[in-house]
Amino acid sequence: SLPGDIEAVASTQLVETAEQRLRRLVYETQELRAQVERENAAEGKQPRVALMHLVNGLHDELAQLSVEAEQPAVEKAQGAEPRTGNPPRVSNVSDVEKRVAGLEKLVGAGQSGHSLVDTVRRLHQQMDVLADPQRVDGIQRRIKQVLLDMDQLEQAHKSAKMVDTADAGRLYPRTIKRIDEVYEKLAHVDALVELAPTTARRLQTLARLHADASGVVARVARVQSEQESVAEEIKNMREVTEGLGTSVRENEGTLKANVAHLDARIAALSDRLAALSK
């Protein structure tokens, strides 16, 4: 392709013939004019008249030079004798090349180090991306959302400033809600405050009653302890009494035998005393 040939020639730094240089310049001016037209159509602006005139003039002049340069080759191919006219205007080609370089400088192609063809190709790719409806719609949606958010933020900021300047003592709804809650709690507290004296007196009475009840409980505990001690002593006394009764019953026969023996001895002693007294 012609752009590949131009890039190869530029990279190897070969010397171009006048015909090759003329073709390259024609192609570059065509690309430049197409680029300018696409940019104007995409931006929706008025075309840059000076630039368009310059490109069109270059294209027409290069076309004329190309026709003049091709005529000798055609005559040679037909077997006719070449015209004895003026040779191709190489100086005009150089001038056109200078003007194209000026155009490259104008569009910024020389700053990036690329040729005009590369710049046009890159711009064409960017225009294809921008011409994609889906991508354009996505970008538009994002831009609209960002603009809407910025407008809402600006409106809120303006409203806040207006509120601050118009009514410096105005409270926010959240603060008012908290104040209402505090007032409701204070209403309940007021009702409790009215009952506070009676409740305090009742609590004092209950405190004294609680102290008396504690004393009574202590006394009852002591009485219960004493009752338990008395019951234990009674139990011990019963055990002793039962043991004593058992011992008495066991010793009753022996006691009776001893008394009978004692009575017998007393009787015998009385008989002896009676005998002695006679």
In this structure, what token pair is assigned to residue 251? 């010793």
With 50 as the cut, is the pLDDT of residue 165 above it? yes
pLDDT tens digits for range 223-271: 999 999 999 999 999 999 999 888 888 888 888 888 889 999 998 888 8
**Which CB contacts under 8 angstroms, 24+ apart, belong to 2-10?**
2/27, 3/27, 3/117, 3/121, 6/115, 6/117, 7/115, 7/117, 7/118, 10/115
In this structure, what token pair is assigned to residue 16? 């171009």
Alpha helices (runs of H) in 108-172, residue ranges in sequence order: 116-131, 133-166
Q: For residue 169, what are the CA distances in angstroms to 11, 178, 220?
A: 76, 16, 70
Domain ranges of the chain: 2-131, 133-170
**Residue 216 confidence (pLDDT):** 87
Whole-structure pTM value: 0.24
pLDDT tens digits for range 54-91: 656 666 666 666 566 555 544 544 444 444 444 445 56
With 90 as the cut, is the pLDDT of residue 29 above it? no
Question: In the predicted model, what is the mean pLDDT of residues 41-62?
Answer: 58
Q: How close are the terminal C-alpha atoms of the chain, in Å?
A: 196
Residue 21: which residues within 8 A CB-CB, separation 6 or more?
Answer: 93, 97
